[in-house]
Amino acid sequence: MGAGGDQLVRAVAGEDAERDHGDAVRAAEGEIFMDMIGEVEPLPRARELLIALRGGGHRVVLASSARAEEVDHYLELLDAREIVEGWTTSADVDRTKPEPDLIEAARAKLGPEAPVVVIGDSTWDCVAAGRAGVPVIGMLTGGYSEQELREAGAVAVHATIEDLMKHLDEPPLASAA
């Protein structure tokens, strides 16, 4: 989805729903989602992308708004713990996407001088990257259109991971390796 629970209830149902029911909605969603997390599957070639990025000289940090137990599950699905340098969860920040906090937390894991490019598949990812002053490559895998991703700040958009992998030597990724 790209957004954390701290942002989602307000965005979907408004300020009154957040104030009156936000905590209860987040608690119910968390319980329901964890019951279904076994149905989650990685996108085709996701692990290969991580390996290709590392092989191309990129340092990889996953910036997720998800809860820690969800991120642990995703890391296991991708067998990614030895590939990536780190990851973030909603517990690492006060505010999740579209606020820039997760991008900044990921950047901190790399060091202040490290070049950063975000690859994201939601408008929330694009807005967060823009607020952090970081270029973002949009992916159509999140259900958003190319136009929506570009309007939210994506400098390039790819339909699939396979398509993105054909363009790893192009800006903005080429200059971030």
Q: Domains of the chain, with CATH numbers?
A: 41-176 (3.40.50.1000)
| 1 — pLDDT class (breaks 50, 70, 90) | low
Measure the CA–CA gap between 151 and 164, rounded to whole angstroms: 19
With H, G, I as helix, E, B as strand and everything else as coil, classify residue 111. Answer: coil
**Cβ-based burial of 42 (10 A; exposed 0-12, middle 13-18, buried ≥19):** middle
Laid out side by side, the sheet with 156-158 consists of 118-120, 136-139, 156-158
Q: Please check whether residue 89 is in contact with residue 71, taking contact to mean a CB–CB distance below 8 angstroms.
A: yes
- Over residues 70-87, the mean pLDDT reads 96
Place of tokens 């790399």: 110
pLDDT tens across 141-176, in order?
A: 999 999 999 999 999 999 999 999 999 999 999 988
Rounded to whole angstroms, the Cα distance separating 18 from 67 reads 19
Quick one: residue 79, left, alpha or beta (phi over 0 = left, psi -120 to 50 = alpha)? left
Nearest to 52 by CA among 163, 149, 141: 163
Per-residue pLDDT of 125-136, as tens digits, reads 999 999 999 999
pLDDT digits (tens, 9 = 90+) for 2-44: 666 666 788 788 889 888 888 888 778 778 888 999 999 999 9
At 43, give phi and psi (nearest 5°).
-65, 145
Cβ contacts of 106 within 8 Å, gap of 6 or more? 61, 62, 63, 86, 87, 88, 116
